Amino acid sequence: MDFFSVFLVAVGLSMDAFAVSICKGLAMNTFDKREANLMGLFFGGFQALMPLIGWAVCVRFAKYVMAYDHWIAFGLLLFIGGKMILEAFTKKEEEASNKKLSIKELFILAIATSIDALAVGIAFAFEYTTFLPVLYAVLLIGVTTYLFSFGGAYIGKRFGNIFKNKAEIVGGVILIGIGVKILLEHLLG
């Protein structure tokens, strides 16, 4: 795969993380560079790690993971999205807009948005037989996802000013929508 092809894969893989970052940015009272960096590091790190794992294990365990990956991603996104919606209705406006992102939540979201990257790693195993090209590809995927995630948090914050107290509801609905999209793609595709 050439640079442009790997870059297109990286952009495609980063779209779920980008959407989730926008959702989390919606709930920011002020743009928090630390949280945006954390999102970028978690999402970029997992998007880079998953293809590496997929490449390393290759086809040996692929059929087990690919049979359930869409259900896992759907369940995690449904849980986090539902939690955001519930919190929007049960917390005061000021409390909801000042909510900090937890490491546990970031971990769950990073796994949910990067499961499909595992399959990309398996595809890499058919393309690359040595480690160096895989390392190059996963680094490009990680950096691209980091940049999209950081930018998504910033964009979400900008739109959060418009939505005010409805930001968490919109974010939760979008996360659930992403989960449904992942599930339908696998069930119908």
Q: Render pLDDT for 69-109 as a digit per residue (tens, 0 to 9).
A: 778 778 877 887 787 678 777 765 444 445 677 899 899 99
Query: CB-based contacts of 63: which residues, under 8 Å, 6+ apart?
Result: none
Whether 115 has a pLDDT exceeding 70, the answer reads yes
Q: The whole model's pTM is what? A: 0.73
Helix pair angle (69-90, 103-127), 10° resolution: 160
Q: How many domains does the chain have?
A: 1
Determine the average pLDDT of the residues in 155-166.
Answer: 72
Q: What pLDDT is attached to residue 148?
A: 95
> 117: domain range?
3-188
Structure tokens at 26: 């919606």
Least confident of 2-16, 82-96, 151-165: 82-96
Average pLDDT along the chain: 82
Place of tokens 């950096």: 143
pLDDT in tens, 35-81: 999 999 999 999 999 999 988 887 566 567 667 777 877 887 788 77
